[in-house]
């Protein structure tokens, strides 16, 4: 199970088996096998996210307890791999370079309904709503959003008006922008 050991903290690469933000936990399957690794919502929140998509790739610090292996820190999350030829219809007519070139903008979730598969956010300092599709969330490595949650999103003008093409937890985006 142990991949790296920095400061006595074993670190493991794996894949999210499932995560339920309502229950407040989920499980990670280590690439090297072994028992499932408990991922608690508080550990995920410390990384700056309230959810993570099933199938997302993760790098976590772990500890063995009398109740099994538990993640103690999330170090990295990568979105799930998408099957070839699985474009989102909303972006069919939009040049992928235009979507990648859109700047990350600070935003706050207005509302998101996982059952409906969409929601809206507001960019700081702008009045218009930004549409967020659940598939964009999954492709960004997230599974759900909470009202008031801080985000960094890439936004374009699309079929549904202003649309998010990428969604990042605010804290994660800060780290991404500093290292870019």
Structural domains of the chain in order of their starting residue, each with its CATH number: 4-78 (2.40.50.140), 89-179 (2.40.50.140)
Per DSSP bridges, beta strands 104-113 and 118-123 are antiparallel
Cα–Cα distance, 46 to 61 (Å, whole number): 13
Q: What is the mean pLDDT of residues 56-70?
A: 94
State the pLDDT at residue 180.
39
* 36-40, 43-47, 144-148, 155-159: range with highest mean pLDDT: 36-40
- Residue 97, pLDDT score: 83
The pLDDT value given to residue 50: 85
Q: What's the pLDDT at 147?
A: 92
Q: Are the C-beta atoms of 146 and 80 separated by less than 8 Å? A: no
- Per-residue confidence (pLDDT) for residue 178, from 0 to 100: 38
pTM of the model: 0.70
Summarised one tens digit per residue, pLDDT across range 160-175 is: 789 999 998 887 666 6
């Amino acid at each position: 199970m142990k991949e790296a050991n920095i400061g006595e903290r074993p670190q493991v690469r794996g894949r999210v088996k499932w995560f339920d933000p309502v229950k407040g936990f989920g499980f990670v399957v280590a690439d090297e096998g072994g028992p499932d690794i408990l991922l608690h919502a508080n550990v995920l929140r410390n990384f700056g996210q309230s959810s993570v998509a099933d199938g997302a790739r993760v790098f976590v610090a772990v500890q063995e307890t009398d109740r099994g292996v538990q993640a103690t820190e999330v170090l990295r999350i990568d979105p799930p791999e998408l099957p070839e030829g699985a474009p989102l219809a909303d972006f069919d007519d939009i040049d992928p370079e235009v979507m990648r070139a859109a700047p990350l903008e600070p935003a706050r979730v207005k509302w998101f309904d996982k059952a409906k598969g969409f929601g809206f956010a507001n960019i700081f300092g702008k009045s218009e709503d930004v549409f967020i599709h659940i598939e964009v969330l999954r492709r960004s490595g997230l599974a759900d959003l909470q009202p008031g949650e801080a985000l960094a999103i890439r936004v374009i003008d699309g079929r549904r008006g202003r649309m998010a093409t990428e969604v990042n937890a605010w804290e994660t985006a800060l780290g991404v922008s500093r290292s870019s």
